[in-house]
Structure 1
Amino acid sequence: MIGIFLITHGSLGEALIQCACHVLNKRPPHIVQLGVSAQDDPLDLLPLARQMLSWADAGQGVLLLTDIYGATPSNIATKLLAPGHVEGIAGVNLPMLLRVLTYRDKDMPTLVQRAVSGGCDGVLHMK
């Protein structure tokens, strides 16, 4: 099972996890989140992020999900990437997270593809 690590602004990551728990009626294993606030120094958070990455890793790698590419949470996530073992996706939303939780028993390339498509397919113009 591929672990999931959300690094987001504030409490967004925990809110997404709580929503996913509501939909799934349970808290999935090997999922952690790190909320970054405006007062946090990214260099101070990096050792904690590395430790949390190890908590999420069940041996098959970790998918990092972050909210805005180029912002502090994604910059922290970028420092943790290890191609093939720790992959990262920016733009996390609830449809993406639910897709990731559904396909995390697949291989990493498949999971990355399903995560991106789930995030994009979850954005619809309602008429």
Structure 2
Amino acid sequence: MIGILVLTHEDLGDHLIRCASHVVGMMPRRLSHLGVFTQDDPEDVLIRARELLEQLDSGDGVLILSDMLGATPCNIASRLVRPDKVECLVGVNLPMLVRVLTYRYEPLSDVIKKGLSGGQAGVIQINAKESNHAN
């Protein structure tokens, strides 16, 4: 089973995990979050993230989900990547998290593909139908 670390600004990761747990109907194992707050030293967060990776890895690898390219959580995550062992997707959203939870028993490379497609497919524009317009 792939471990999952949601590494984000503040409590965003915690809230995403709570929402995903609601959607899948349980609190999944080997899933954790780490929030980066304004007052945090990135080096301290990096140390904590390494500790969490060790706890989350059952031998199949860990996928880090981060929120924003170029931001501190993503920069920390990029320092943790180890090809085929620890990988990272950036731009986490609820559909991405639910998708990786659903497929986490697959190989890490497949979970990455599923996460990317789920996250991208979850961002769409909804057009109102004419019959829904209030006059």
| TM tier, smaller | over 0.9
Aligned length in residues: 127
TM-score w.r.t. the length of structure 2 is 0.92
Q: How does 1:8-47 map to 2 (within 5 A)?
A: 8-47=8-47
How far the C-alpha of 1:65 sits from its partner, in A, is 0.3
Q: Which runs of 4+ in 1 moved over 3 A?
A: none
2:124 aligned counterpart, secondary structure? coil
Separation of aligned partners in 1, 2:24 and 2:89: 22
Q: How does 1:76-115 map to 2 (within 5 A)?
A: 76-115=76-115
How far the C-alpha of 1:69 sits from its partner, in A, is 0.9
- For 2:20, the aligned partner's letter is A
Q: What percent identity do the matched residue pairs reach?
A: 50
What runs of 5+ residues in structure 2 fail to find an aligned partner? 128-135
TM-score w.r.t. the length of structure 1 is 0.98
The root-mean-square deviation of aligned C-alpha atoms, in Å, is 0.6
How far the C-alpha of 1:111 sits from its partner, in A, is 0.7
Separation of aligned partners in 2, 1:116 and 1:57: 21
Separation of aligned partners in 2, 1:24 and 1:89: 21
- 1:86-113: CA deviation from partner (whole Å, max 9, x where unpaired): 0000000000000000111111111111
What runs of 5+ residues in structure 1 fail to find an aligned partner? none
How far the C-alpha of 1:59 sits from its partner, in A, is 1.1
- For 1:47, the aligned partner's letter is I
How far the C-alpha of 1:4 sits from its partner, in A, is 0.3
Aligned twin of 2:6 = 6
Separation of aligned partners in 2, 1:52 and 1:81: 14
Q: If you compute each CA radius of gyration, which structure gives the higher value, 1 or 2? A: 2
2:39 aligned counterpart, secondary structure? coil
Separation of aligned partners in 2, 1:15 and 1:109: 26
Matched, 1:125 2:98: no
How far the C-alpha of 1:39 sits from its partner, in A, is 0.9
